Amino acid sequence: MSSARTAEAAVEVVDLVKRYGPTVAVNGLTFHAARGAVTAVLGPNGAGKTTTIETCEGFRRPDSGTVRVLGRDPGSDGRELTARVGVMLQAGGIYPGARCAEMLRLMASLAANPLDPADLLDKLGLAPVATTTFRRLSGGQQQRLALAMAIVGRPELVFLDEPTAGLDPQARRATWDLIADLRRDGVTVVLTTHYMEEAERLADAVVIVDAGQVVASGSPYELTSGGAERQLRFRAPSGLDLDRLLSALPVGSIGKESPSGHYVLEGEISPAFLASVTAWCASHGVLADDLKVEQRTLEDVFLELTGRGLRT
């Protein structure tokens, strides 16, 4: 691994292999998560992403390969990483009989410079249930408390496992805002999610895992724009002379009107292409309305790479 990348990475995984008996859960997986960025790890169930993240958290030991978290081995240096890393688990780690605010204050008391627990409860909509025991919270409230406990100590790095699973739209948006705040504060976030919109909205980098290996990685823009011809869509009066319009565009461009008054142009969409279309419309007295460029979504890319839905 290069020394430059190691210096920039909060998490560095190289050639990770993890087996459970005859089953190879992770098979030579390599990725890194940059400091101060949000990295989303996506993959179908059974792809190896959870095992990978749990190894980074120090809960599992690799059979081979190297894992470094903030420059440390999470397996042997877990004590040193405890104060610097926050972990949000899907289940466990919270006393069922403990009250919501009590658990958060307990976690805050272990940190040198914690966030204000009362303020965090308010941001996540948990203030009304501050004195409610964990076992009596709804699933969504338990999820939000687990998130609050992961970040109340102001960690340098936080692992979030499905942070918005089971949340209503308002709570999901509040969680998104909180993750955006973490990034603005320079906190590194590594999250797993089943929501493609969440990854596209929050992540600086996306790592797609399948069959224990990384099958693609990059920014959401890089993954959705790479190698794909895009479409330019707009509305205008019906019956435009598409042949004349296409003659003003790069060779190989195609177009159609479907339905009436709705136009689709396909080709290598670039700023020059867009300028040519708008210039042609202006010269012919055509007002192009609702003009937009469309391309593959992250879900399209995921399905092309894995051949299956995220929840299989």
Distance (Å, whole) CA 150 – CA 249: 53
Task: Look at residue 261 in the predicted model and tell me its pLDDT.
Answer: 93
Task: Look at residue 308 in the predicted model and tell me its pLDDT.
Answer: 61
The pTM assigned to this predicted structure is 0.80
Distance (Å, whole) CA 72 – CA 49: 20
DSSP string, 87-108: EE-SS-SS-TTSBHHHHHHHHH
**What confidence category does residue 3 fall into, taking pLDDT thresholds of 50, 70 and 90?**
very low
Residue range 127-150: mean pLDDT, rounded: 94
Residue range 27-52: mean pLDDT, rounded: 95
Rg over alpha carbons for the chain, rounded to the nearest Å, is 24
Domains (ranges, CATH) in the chain?
Answer: 3-224 (3.40.50.300), 229-294 (3.30.70)
**Which of 96, 95, 78, 77 has its CA nearest to residue 87?**
78
The DSSP bridge partners found for residue 208 are 42, 216
Task: Look at residue 304 in the predicted model and tell me its pLDDT.
Answer: 83
Q: What is the pLDDT of residues 226-239, one digit of tens each?
A: 654 578 999 999 99
5, pLDDT greater than 80: no
Q: What percent of the chain has pLDDT over 90?
A: 73
CA 271 to chain centre: 28
138, pLDDT greater than 70: yes
